[in-house]
Amino acid sequence: MRYISTRGTAPVLGFGEAMMTGLARDGGLYVPETVPEFSHAEIAALAGAPYEEVAFKVMRPYLGGFFTDDEFRGLIAKAYEGFHHAARAPLVQLGSNHFLLELFHGPTLAFKDFAMQLIGQMMQAALARTGERITIVGATSGDTGSAAMEAFRGLANVDVFILFPHGRVSEVQRRQMTTPSEANVHALAIDGDFDDAQARVKDMFNDFAFRDGVRLAGVNSINWARVLAQVVYYFYAATALGAPHRAVGFTVPTGNFGDIFAGYIARRMGLPIDRLVIATNQNDILDRALRLGEYRTDGVRPSISPSMDIQVSSNFERALFDAYGRDGAAVAALMGELKAGGFRISQGALEMLRGTFASGRCSEDETLAVIARHYRTTGELLCPHSAVGVKVAEEHVGLAPMITLATAHPAKFPDAVERATGVRPGLPPHMADLFGRAERVTRVPNDLGALQALVRERVARR
Ligand SMILES: *Cc1c(COP(=O)(O)O)cnc(C)c1O
């Protein structure tokens, strides 16, 4: 299996290199050259299998032999053993034809753990072969950062720097990033929003002297291995509800477009997904793009679902690459226009995108109303991101079962949940002392040079 860049000029890589590289050297994102298709019988055989077995079968064709089968099974087992639910991703029924896929039973209580725990295991195994050291730098809207720190803390040959927007993550999210005591993890609060943090990380990758000097590696959702790990739960949930014998739909609370892009890959692999619905909060650039045919940024408005407060959805570039007939030069030109504010999507590409994705948005008031109604009718608390998904899904439920991805645990966003219901969700036992732990964080300016100096200095000190 070979991986090519969405901008067409970076070197073609194998799985291991694509995983360790993150962002391609031409500024693009790596995608598999071809997507393997599963037969009806192969998909049917996944029904009822343990999560780890589904993970092995779905991901194996993408590895190109980088890990042996035994090695890969071992890494998968370790990645998910720390989850606090035997099913890993349990399904809960919400209505006659509507289900919730709970993806928040991992160690940091958001779906990011599914990919991050596995990539942590895979990178460790790859580094152990060569004795190499790497520096991971990532931007987070709140949940990626804690998941990355949890996956890599304490490792001898990895330093992890996480940039999060100062004052724009929930207190639980912040504390999850600032309280790990290991010397190899570094929480950096940047003066800016998530898009600024993500842009500075991309700048660091595009500075090749810096990139090679500190051996930069990325674990943001631009990393193909993360998308791949998320493809698994689409197969797991769909086969539990009757696929491949019947089709299902998915609604995905969307920010950086990584999670829903994994659903798109699952569909291309042959999983019968009849609707793939993008759910956005008031930062609705993706919903507008699909409706109006124009991808144009207009500033982030902080919301009660902060992990989706994003304008520039990195992984949308992967969808555009396919929509533009895999023309890297065309994608590179669009991304240039985006830097100047936005672009109009061509008619052909728009038709492809509209044929593939549906979309909807959910306002702040609607988010609170869904959390309140859900609590009244079921006694269960929804996190605000999952509530955005539920609201949009309800507008799209049809004959096929609809599965809404519940992306985080309500206790990560207690203020919003309490505002909606009057009930403050408690942290699960393994995190009960979070508010008593000491915090360690460095406030940093939105300035590339200053950030690079800090990273160099801390890496040299270790
Ligand atoms: C990251 C995140 C999202 C958005 O996922 P993308 O892959 O960036 O689209 C939604 N909800 C929660 C809780 C998240 O942490």
pLDDT of residue 244: 98
Position 22 confidence tier, pLDDT thresholds 50, 70, 90: confident
pLDDT of residue 51: 98
For residue 276, give both structure tokens. Answer: 């793939």
CA of 62 to the centre of ligand 1 (A): 24
CA of 227 to the centre of ligand 1 (A): 12
Closest residue (by CA) to atom 14 of ligand 1? 307
Share of the chain above pLDDT 70, in %: 100
Position 298 confidence tier, pLDDT thresholds 50, 70, 90: confident
pTM of the full structure: 0.95
CA of 455 to the centre of ligand 1 (A): 26
> Which of the following is catalytic: 57, 112, 202, 391?
112
CA of 405 to the centre of ligand 1 (A): 10
Task: Give Rg (Cα) of the chain.
Answer: 20
pLDDT in tens, 81-90: 999 999 999 9
CA of 418 to the centre of ligand 1 (A): 21
pLDDT score of 241 more than 90: yes
Residue pair 433/387 in contact by the 8 Å Cβ criterion? no
Position 209 confidence tier, pLDDT thresholds 50, 70, 90: very high
pLDDT of residue 142: 84
Position 27 confidence tier, pLDDT thresholds 50, 70, 90: very high
- Ligand 1 atom closest to the Cα of residue 258 is 7
Residue pair 287/354 in contact by the 8 Å Cβ criterion? no
Closest residue (by CA) to atom 1 of ligand 1? 307
Question: Which DSSP state fits 270?
Answer: T
Closest alpha carbon to 197 in 450, 456, 445: 445
Round to whole Å and give the CA distance between 316 and 297: 14
- Ligand 1 atom closest to the Cα of residue 257 is 9
Q: Which residues have a Cβ under 8 Å from the Cβ of 265 and sit 6 or more positions away?
A: 35, 227, 228, 231
Round to whole Å and give the CA distance between 162 and 411: 22
- Ligand 1 atom closest to the Cα of residue 408 is 13
- Ligand 1 atom closest to the Cα of residue 104 is 13
- Ligand 1 atom closest to the Cα of residue 407 is 13
Position 199 confidence tier, pLDDT thresholds 50, 70, 90: very high
Question: Which DSSP state fits 418?
Answer: H
Pocket of ligand 1, candidates 309, 382, 407, 413: which has the most ligand atoms within 8 Å of its Cβ, to mutate? 407
Pocket of ligand 1, candidates 143, 230, 264: which has the most ligand atoms within 8 Å of its Cβ, to mutate? 143
- Ligand 1 atom closest to the Cα of residue 143 is 15
Residue type, 30: Y
pLDDT in tens, 404-460: 999 999 999 999 999 999 999 999 999 999 999 999 999 999 999 999 999 999 999
Position 311 confidence tier, pLDDT thresholds 50, 70, 90: confident
Q: Bridge partners of 188? A: 163, 442
pLDDT of residue 104: 97
pLDDT score of 371 more than 90: yes
Q: Stretch 361-378: mean pLDDT, rounded?
A: 97
Task: Give catalytic status of residue 339 as yes or no.
Answer: no
CA of 447 to the centre of ligand 1 (A): 26
pLDDT score of 23 more than 90: no
Regarding the domain delimited by 87-107+224-421, which CATH topology (the fold level of the hierarchy) does it fall under?
A: Rossmann fold (3.40.50)
Pocket of ligand 1, candidates 100, 230, 254: which has the most ligand atoms within 8 Å of its Cβ, to mutate? 254
Angle ∠(78,79,80) on CA atoms, nearest 5: 95
Pocket of ligand 1, candidates 169, 174, 307: which has the most ligand atoms within 8 Å of its Cβ, to mutate? 307
CA of 234 to the centre of ligand 1 (A): 15
Taking the alpha carbons at both ends of the chain, their separation in whole angstroms is 36
Round to whole Å and give the CA distance between 307 and 313: 12
pLDDT of residue 159: 95
Round to whole Å and give the CA distance between 250 and 237: 10
Residues having CB closer than 6 A to ligand 1 are 110, 112, 143, 221, 253-259, 307-308, 385, 407-408
CA of 255 to the centre of ligand 1 (A): 5
Q: Which residues have a Cβ under 8 Å from the Cβ of 212 and sit 6 or more positions away?
A: none
Closest residue (by CA) to atom 15 of ligand 1? 143
pLDDT in tens, 92-103: 999 989 999 999
pLDDT score of 21 more than 90: no
pLDDT in tens, 374-405: 999 999 999 999 999 999 999 999 989 999 99
pLDDT score of 46 more than 90: yes
Position 222 confidence tier, pLDDT thresholds 50, 70, 90: confident
pLDDT in tens, 113-157: 999 999 999 999 999 999 999 999 999 988 999 999 999 999 889
Taking the domains of the chain in order of start, what are their residue ranges?
87-107+224-421
